[in-house]
Structure 1
Amino acid sequence: MAELWMVAGPIGNLGDLSPRASEILQAASLWIVEDTRVSSRLAAHLAVKPIYKVLNDHTSPARVQALADEIESHEQAALLTDAGTPGISDPGAELVQACLERDIRVDGIPGPSAVTFALSVCGFYAQRFAFLGFLPRKAGDIQRTLAPFAENSMTLVLFESPHRLTKAARMWADALGNRRVVVARELTKRHQELWRGTLEELAGAPREWKGEITVVIEGHRRLIVE
């Protein structure tokens, strides 16, 4: 019976790849990846030469079905993203559903995640949080997306591109108010940075941001008067 493994890969540091993930990746003859240039470095690290197939935001529904058909011809296949846990903020869910419809066994290997890393170090209440991925670009769309959280105590986690971060922070502040925020940049890599401040400070920060960015915004804090 064919198997598809959802394998969490490193978000920057290859040393974070778990022994169990290494074992599955070495056994899988087919790797389904976002970018072969990224995954080939991981394959070289593991000294394996799998067959590569690409699944990304540009993959058509018909191609997803074709990938599921191909998985059926392999004893073990692995789905990886460029960084972190697959199936979150990527098109992995469609492939999983296609495999389940074919009675292909789907399993997973837990591991690195920029979302949980950032939450663990932010210092905000994170028992309840919402992951929003990449927000829309237009101010009106951002306002509508964030409106349900304007008076909600849930911590928010999202991704943003470095060249849009300052402008986006201004729109987040307009929608949510001036909350505390942590910018987690280049996590587990040589130039890792955890920037802490407020949304207003982030919007006015006179700097150029670079690298992969995860943002954690504190939930709404109600003033309690005794």
Structure 2
Amino acid sequence: MKVQNSFQVEKNKLYIVSTPIGNLSDMTFRAIETLKEVDLVLCEDTRVTSKLLMHFEIKAKLESYQKYNETLKADEIISKIKDGLNVALVSDAGTPLVNDPGFTLVRLAVENEIDVVPIPGASAMLSALSASGLVPQPFTFVGFLPKKQSEIEIVLSKYVKREETVVFYESPLRISKTLRIMYDVLGERKCVLAREITKKFETFYRGMLSEMHELEFDERGEYVILLEGHIQTEKEQTIDIDQLMGELIASGREEKEALKIVAKKLGVHKSEVYKAYKIK
């Protein structure tokens, strides 16, 4: 495998640069080189990003690019790139666009045939997932939930029967309330919480939702919530088998062929399908 060591920032491009989520040692060499070379760095909070740049002795022009103004500023930024500037987009911490501003700009850049170059780095979501002990793929990243309980319940109801690991972000002030709502809507399942990832007080909490929502949590640092996917009970699987077998036989399939198809779809041996289908 060939590894490319050299990297050169080029004109008329948009660079999506990941920054540390807490530990400055996680800043990559390529990210530093990029931010040193670009003409303009777009960021959520110039105060936060200026501290990062100062630490790495990076002298770059900063410009605010936040959720409230990203639509208005996107056209202006695209024009600057077309005029020959190279522009980098960063968030306060982690990988841009992952629950941070930038989608509008990236989409517009793609529509204008401007190269969008990812500069990989830290991500709270992926870091938490990799160390969670839950099934890492497939997974669904939801991000922050709405603030109203009724709206939270509507969002969560979409994941009641989903079998993949589901990942959320939550503020420390709402973590206990959110876990209680999750337990009410989703029922019992494994839960992992991660906070202060890569920092001195990095902590992982692991347990069942019925236990977790009753705990008291540190109200410092945002949380990543990871929930185990829905696991079918024997009763649910029998219902699925009956339905699938019935549909296949009704469509003209022989029982033996239908057994094979259903077994493959459910990922079980055909003898298990036969036993569940025959035992009423």
The answer to whether TM tops 0.5 is: yes
Deviations 1:98-123 (A, max 9, x none): 22343332111111111111111111
Aligned residues: 226
2:206 corresponds, among 182, 196, 212, to: 196
Identify the match of residue 140 of structure 1 among 125, 143, 150. 150
Note the residue ranges of structure 1 that are not aligned, 5 or more in a row.
none
Look up the match of 1:186: 196
For 1:144 and 1:217, the matched residues in 2 are separated by 17
Structure 1 position 34, deviation (Å): 0.8
Give, in whole Å, the separation in 1 of the partners of 2:228 and 2:45: 33
Larger helix proportion, structure 1 or 2? 2
> Bigger shift: 26-35 or 97-106?
97-106
Counterpart in 2 of 1:30? 40
Equivalent in 161, 179, 202 of residue 151 of structure 1: 161
Q: Could you list the per-position Cα deviations for residues 37-81 of structure 1 after superposition, in whole angstroms to 9, with x for gaps in the alignment?
A: 111122112212211111112115222222322333453211001
Alignment partner of 1:15 is 2:9: no
CA distance in 1, matches of 2:196, 2:218: 14
Q: Distance in 2 between matches of 1:51 and 1:71?
A: 15
Q: Measured at CA, do residues 183 and 190 of structure 1 come closer, stay the same or move farther in structure 2, by a change above 3 Å?
A: same
The equivalent residue for 2:241 is none
TM-score, with length taken from structure 2: 0.76
Cα displacement (A) at 1:18? 1.4
Which of 138-147 and 26-35 deviates more? 138-147
Which residue of structure 2 aligns with residue 43 of structure 1?
Answer: 53
Q: Deviations over 1:177-202 (max 9, x none)?
A: 02211111011011111111222222
Among all aligned residue pairs of Structure 1 and Structure 2, give the percentage whose two residues are the same amino acid.
Answer: 38
Specify the alignment match of 1:112 in structure 2.
122
Q: CA separation in 1, counterparts of 2:81 and 2:193?
A: 38
Within 1, Cα distance between the matches of 2:37 and 2:194?
33
- Across the aligned residues of Structure 1 and Structure 2, the Cα RMSD in angstroms comes to 1.8
Task: State how far apart, in whole Å, the 2-side matches of 1:207 and 1:83 are.
Answer: 22
Q: Distance in 2 between matches of 1:139 and 1:52?
A: 38
Aligned counterparts, 1:92-107, within 5 A = 92-107=102-117
Amino acid at match of 1:183: L
Counterpart check, 1:59 vs 2:84 = no
Q: Distance in 2 between matches of 1:62 and 1:109?
A: 25
CA distance 1:224–1:122, change in 2 (3 Å): farther
Task: Give the distance between the partners of 2:30 and 2:71, measured in 1 at CA.
Answer: 31
**What residue number does 1:168 align with?**
178
Check the 8 A contact 1:29/1:74 in 2, yes or no: no
What's the CA shift string for 1:19-51, capped at 9, x where partnerless? 112211111121000111111122112212211
1:216 and 2:226 equivalent?
Answer: yes
Q: Deviations over 1:77-108 (max 9, x none)?
A: 11001111112212211011222343332111
Q: Whose RCO is larger (CA < 8 A, sep 6+)? A: 1
**Is contact 1:30–1:74 with CA below 8 Å preserved after alignment?**
no
**Is contact 2:17-2:120 (8 Å) kept?**
yes
Q: How do 1:49-88 and structure 2 match up within 5 A?
A: 49-88=59-98
